[in-house]
Amino acid sequence: MTIVFRLKGFEQDCFEIRYAAGVLMRGGLVAFPTETVYGLGALVWDEGAVSKIFQVKGRPSDNPLIVHVSSIEMVEKVASRIPEDAYKLMEKAWPGPLTIVLPKSERVPRIVTAGLDTVAVRMPSHPVALSLIRETGEPVAAPSANPSGKPSPTSGTHVVRDLIGRVEVILDAGETLYGVESTVVNIVTEPPVLLRPGAIPVEEVEKILGRKILIPEFAKGLGQVEKPLAPGMKYRHYAPEAKLVLVEPSSYTRECLKALAEYIKTQALAGSDGKPCILATLETLQHYSGVGAETFTLGSRENPFEIARNLFTILRKVDEEECSIVYAEGFPDQGLGLTIMNRLRKAASEKHLINC
């Protein structure tokens, strides 16, 4: 049985938080909101509880989890060493959607880190998440609260649909702020490496560190690695049930965006099987009239925060609307555009580049 607590007018010292913390301390699973997406948490030291996360999600065992903390003292429990760069990032970006990869403490079970000698750590800024961790008094290991590979949940409603009857408690606090996962940076290496773009653009992390961060191809959603150091590096992720076709133009001029829309329109009109759908932007919406495909608007290209925030919600909606094939527009690999493209490339069944 799953207990769903809907938190409106949230108070830190409330019965619901105390109850959920008790469930974690007794080896249960709790789904909770963060500012990025909803997480599925277990007490980090409890190997049995952590193993249930993998079972519930259908998550591969070589895909490490992120450890969520509410204080620097908790970081010191899970990390064997904290480099100076880590303190810079913690001071400027925490609490917030930035995950830092650090050398692992021997105390952290290997199931949490997929056998790696490093551990991914972050301090969420959502008041429910922070209160839950503080009440528990220990770090909480938590991936996103959805079946592995599917779009991450950005509302309590998504979590209830995905996990009702499979976890002990769901803390429903409505929609999340960012709608995409945290940015993950490995500072154990030199130079630091972006492992996953997320809610904080990598350019902002570079400003804090005062130097460049290496951005490998897999962080762009191109290719994968055999041994992932963080979530989202190896497997196909974020994918709807519908076939997703990603179309990228060779540039993002006004003329090229028009050519992009015309190409997608032609492909949608040519499709014969099932229901075609299109993920568009406000700038291209006018070009899709008369297609006969359902069009979902992600937002304006002038506001990548809006597009990132809407992305997973709309990827879920295309399945609710029973789309059979979805054509998605591409975005420049800059700022939050890099995050958006990482998610779209990871979700795509096919990718096309048009020269314009």
Find, among 117, 120, 114, the residue nearest to 63 by Cα. Answer: 114
Question: Among the three residues 149, 180, 211, which one is the final residue of a domain in this structure?
Answer: 180
Domain residue limits at 264 = 243-354
Residues marked as binding?
A: 36, 59, 63, 68, 118, 122, 142, 144, 152, 182, 196, 238
Q: Are 280 and 291 in contact (CB under 8 A)?
A: no
The answer to whether residues 7 and 82 belong to one domain is yes
Residue 100 near residue 89, CB atoms below 8 Å? yes
Residue 233 lies in a domain: no
Examine the domain organization and report whether 247 and 175 are in the same domain.
no
Same domain, 174 and 249: no
**Residue 220 lies inside a defined structural domain of this protein:** no
Annotated binding site for L-threonine: 36, 68, 122, 142, 182
Last residue of a domain, one of 131, 150, 180: 180
Residues 164 and 86 in one domain: yes
For residue 324, the model assigns a pLDDT of 93
Residue 171 and residue 248 in one domain:
no
* pLDDT of amino acid 203: 97
State the maximum Cα–Cα separation within the chain, in Å, rounded to a whole number.
61
Same-domain status, 145 and 41:
yes
- Determine the pLDDT at residue 250: 93
**Count of domains in the chain?**
2
Residue with tokens 């032609």: 266
Q: Would 22 be classed as within a structural domain?
A: yes
Same domain assignment for residues 141 and 65: yes
Pair 254, 349 in one domain: yes
In a domain, 235, yes or no: no
Domain contains 198? no
Q: Which amino acid is at 135?
A: E
Among residues 147, 180, 213, the one where a domain terminates is: 180
> What is the reported pLDDT for 289?
85
Same domain, 17 and 121: yes
What is the CATH number for 301? 3.40.50.11030
How confident is the model at residue 234, as a pLDDT?
54
Binding site for ATP, residues?
59, 63, 118, 144, 152, 196, 238
**Per-residue tens of pLDDT for the chain, all 356 residues:** 999 999 987 776 799 999 999 999 999 999 999 999 999 999 999 999 999 999 999 999 889 999 999 999 999 999 999 999 999 999 999 999 999 999 999 999 999 999 999 999 999 999 999 999 999 999 999 999 999 989 999 999 999 999 999 999 999 999 999 999 999 999 999 999 999 999 999 999 999 999 999 999 999 998 776 666 666 665 567 889 999 999 999 999 999 999 999 999 999 888 667 899 999 999 999 999 888 889 999 999 999 999 999 999 999 999 999 999 999 999 999 999 999 999 999 999 999 999 98
On whether both 154 and 263 belong to a single domain, the answer is no
**201 domain residue, yes or no:** no
Asked if 171 contacts 32 with a C-beta cutoff of 8 angstroms, the reply is yes
Question: From the centroid of its chain, how far is CA 30?
Answer: 18
Residue 98 counted as domain residue? yes
Q: Beginning with the edge strand found earlier in the chain, give each strand of the sheet holding 3-6 in spatial order.
A: 3-6, 169-172, 30-32, 39-43, 140-141, 66-68, 118-122, 98-103, 183-186, 193-196
Prior bond of 95 cis (ω within 30°): yes
Same domain for 138 and 284, yes or no, is no
144, 73: one domain = yes
Which residues contact residue 224 at a Cβ distance below 8 angstroms, ignoring those fewer than 6 apart? 218, 233, 234, 235
Residue 266 lies in a domain: yes
Q: What CATH number corresponds to the domain at position 79?
A: 3.90.870.10
